[in-house]
Structure 1
Amino acid sequence: MEHIKQWVADNPTLASVVKFALLVVFVLSIIQLLRRFLRKQVTDTTARYKSQKGIEVVGYIILILLSFSYFTGTIKDLTLVLGLFTAGVAFTLQELILSVAGSLYIFTVKVYTPGDRIEINNIKGDVIDVDTIYTTMMEIGQWVSSDNYTGRIVKLSNAFVFKGPVYNYSKDFPFIWDEFNLPIKYGSDIALTEAILTKISSQTLSQFTTNSKKQWRDVVNKYYIEDAMLDPTIAVTLTDNWIQFNLRYIVDYKKRRSTKNALQSEIYNEILKTKGKVKLASATLELMRLPEIEVKVTS
Structure 2
Amino acid sequence: MQQLYELLEHQPFLAGLLRLLFWALIIIVGIRVLRNIARNRIENVSFRYKTQKGIEVIGYVLIAILFLVFFTAGNIKDYSLIIGLFTAGITFTLQELILSIAGSFYIFAVRVYTPGDRIEINGIKGDVIDIDSIYTTIMEMGEWVSSDNYSGRIVKISNAFVFKGPIKNYSMDFPFVWDELNILVTYGSDIELAKKIVLDNSSELLSDYVGASQTKWGEMVERYYIENATLEPTVAITLTDNWVALNLRYITDYKLRRSTKHNLFYSIQKNALQSDGKVVLASATLQLLKIPEVDVRIKNNV
The residue type paired with residue 90 of structure 1 is T
1:139 aligns with 2:140: yes
2: CA distance, partners of 1:224 / 1:85:
47
The one of 20, 35, 39 aligned to 1:44: 35
Distance 1:131 1:29, change over 3 A: closer
SS of aligned partner of 2:133: coil
The one of 27, 31, 34 aligned to 2:18: 27
The equivalent residue for 2:198 is 197
The equivalent residue for 1:278 is 279
- Residue 27 (structure 1) shift: 2.6
- Residue 190 (structure 1) shift: 0.6
CA displacement, residues 20-70 of structure 1 (integer Å, 9 cap, x when unaligned): 69x6699389739955993798153597xx89x97xx99xx89xx8xxx9x
2: CA distance, partners of 1:131 / 1:33:
19
Alignment of 1:30-179 (within 5 A): 31=22, 34-35=25-26, 38=29, 42-44=33-35, 76=77, 78-179=79-180
1: CA distance, partners of 2:292 / 2:275:
40
1: CA distance, partners of 2:248 / 2:77:
74
2: CA distance, partners of 1:103 / 1:220:
29
Max radius of gyration: which structure?
Answer: 1
CA displacement, residues 88-125 of structure 1 (integer Å, 9 cap, x when unaligned): 11111100110111111111110111111111011111
Structure 1: 5+ residue stretches without partners: 9-14
The equivalent residue for 1:11 is none
2: CA distance, partners of 1:212 / 1:159:
33
2: CA distance, partners of 1:186 / 1:40:
70
CA displacement, residues 265-293 of structure 1 (integer Å, 9 cap, x when unaligned): 00010011012111111111223434557
SS of aligned partner of 2:126: strand
SS of aligned partner of 2:206: helix
Cα pair 2:119 2:167 within 8 Å, conserved: yes
CA displacement, residues 229-284 of structure 1 (integer Å, 9 cap, x when unaligned): 10100000000000000000000111111111111100010011012111111111
The equivalent residue for 2:215 is 214
Distance 1:179 1:134, change over 3 A: same
Distance 1:144 1:159, change over 3 A: same
2: CA distance, partners of 1:17 / 1:215:
64
- Residue 87 (structure 1) shift: 1.0
The TM-score with structure 1 as length reference comes to: 0.78
1: CA distance, partners of 2:204 / 2:10:
84
1: CA distance, partners of 2:191 / 2:28:
78
Structure 2: 5+ residue stretches without partners: 40-51
Distance 1:99 1:33, change over 3 A: closer
The residue type paired with residue 216 of structure 1 is W
1: CA distance, partners of 2:17 / 2:100:
33
1: CA distance, partners of 2:28 / 2:160:
33
Alignment RMSD (CA, Å): 3.8
CA displacement, residues 160-217 of structure 1 (integer Å, 9 cap, x when unaligned): 0011000000111100000110110111011110110111011000010111111101
The equivalent residue for 1:253 is 254
SS of aligned partner of 1:83: helix
The TM-score with structure 2 as length reference comes to: 0.77
SS of aligned partner of 1:44: helix
SS of aligned partner of 2:193: helix
2: CA distance, partners of 1:212 / 1:270:
27
Aligned residues with identical type, % of pairs: 54
